[in-house]
Amino acid sequence: MVLLDTHIWLWWLLGDGALKTTERHQLDRLAGGKQLAISWVSVWETEMLERKGRIHLEPNFEAWIAKAVHPGVCHVLPADVPVVAAQRRLPASFHADPADRLIAATSLLSGWPLVTRDRNIIRSGAVELYEL
């Protein structure tokens, strides 16, 4: 199983961003094998991005998100106390962005590597990374 950071998940599903064709195909294959997961934080971040007009989801957020979190696309890891507590395992130098902290904590708790292009997360060395 592989955990996707919000931007990777959105780039893949929206067909934009900095993903190469080969990376998109690899994500398609992982999804086909039910090997992709996201944190619940990614759903929250997506709603915020859409509400602020930074992304456009067709036909609307509710319909798009229902398809985007379908079990054939990815598994959504829930918000719970263990994820919040797992943030304490992050290094003191890990940046303060709450979404990034919770996604990294989800990776630590699940033991699943994270696909991200976030330089702060990569530089932290706090989580195992998965290269597409």
- Please report, for the domain that includes residue 19, its CATH number: 3.40.50.1010
Q: Is residue 53 part of a domain?
A: yes
Q: Is residue 21 part of a domain?
A: yes
pLDDT by residue for the chain (132 residues), tens only, comes to: 999 999 999 999 999 889 999 999 999 999 999 999 999 999 999 999 999 999 999 999 999 999 999 999 999 999 899 999 999 999 999 999 999 999 999 999 999 999 999 999 999 999 999 999
Q: Is residue 24 part of a domain?
A: yes
Q: Is residue 129 part of a domain?
A: no
Quick one: pLDDT at residue 16? 85
Q: What is the pTM (predicted TM-score) of this model? A: 0.96
DSSP structure string for 89-111: GS-TTS---HHHHHHHHHHHHHT
Domain, as residue range, for 77: 2-124
Q: Is residue 132 part of a domain?
A: no
